Amino acid sequence: MSEESDSLRTSPSVASLSENELPPPAEPPGYVCSLTEDLVTKAREELQEKPEWRLRDVQALRDMVRKECPNLSTSLDDAFLLRFLRARKFDYDRALQLLVNYHSCRRSWPEVFNNLKPSALKDVLASGFLTVLPHTDPRGCHILCMRPDRWIPSNYPITENIRAIYLTLEKLIQSEETQVNGIVILADYKGVSLSKASHFGPFIAKKVIGILQDGFPIRIKAVHVVNEPRIFKGIFAIIKPFLKEKIANRFFLHGSNLNSLHTSLPRSILPKEYGGTAGELDITAWNAVLLASEEDFVREFCQPVPVCDSILGQAPPPEGLTPDAQCDDSLRAVKSQLYSCY
Q: Each residue of 74-123: pLDDT tens digit?
A: 999 999 999 999 999 999 999 999 999 999 999 999 999 999 999 999 99
The pLDDT value recorded for residue 306 is 58
Instruction: Please give the CATH topology (third level) of the domain spanning 112-298.
Output: Phosphatidylinositol Transfer Protein Sec14p (3.40.525)
Where are the CATH 3.40.525.10 domain residues in the chain? Answer: 112-298
Provide the pLDDT for residue 317: 55
The arrangement of strands across the sheet holding 130-132 comes to 130-132, 142-146, 183-188, 220-226, 251-255
**Strand spans (E) along the chain:** 130-132, 142-146, 183-188, 220-226, 251-255
Q: Residue 227 carries which DSSP code?
A: S
DSSP line for 38-101: HHHHHHHHHH---GGGHHHHHHHHHHHHHHH-TT------HHHHHHHHHHTTT-HHHHHHHHHH
What is residue 193's predicted lDDT score, i.e. its pLDDT?
82
CATH tag for 30-107 (out of 1.10.3720.10, 1.10.8.20, 3.10.310.50, 1.10.150.20): 1.10.8.20
Q: What pLDDT does 340 receive?
A: 43
* pLDDT attached to residue 194: 79
Residues of the chain with pLDDT under 70: 1-29, 305-342
Q: Report the pLDDT value the prediction gives residue 240, as an integer from 0 to 100.
A: 85
Residue type, 46: E
Question: Do residues 215 and 88 touch, judged by C-beta distance below 8 A?
Answer: no
Question: What pLDDT shows up at residue 313?
Answer: 47
Q: Are 50 and 82 in contact (CB under 8 A)?
A: no
* Start and end residues for every CATH 1.10.8.20 domain found in the chain: 30-107
Q: Cβ distance 217 to 179 under 8 Å?
A: yes
State how far Cα 302 lies from the chain centre.
Answer: 20
DSSP state of 305: P
Residue 259 main-chain phi, psi, to 5 deg? -60, -35
pLDDT at 18: 42
pTM of the entire predicted model? 0.82
Angle at 210 between CA 208 and CA 214, to 5 degrees: 130
Q: Torsion over CA of 269, 274, 280 and 286, rounded to 10 degrees? A: 60
Residue 108 has phi, psi (to 5 degrees) of -85, -10
d(CA 168, CA 282): 16
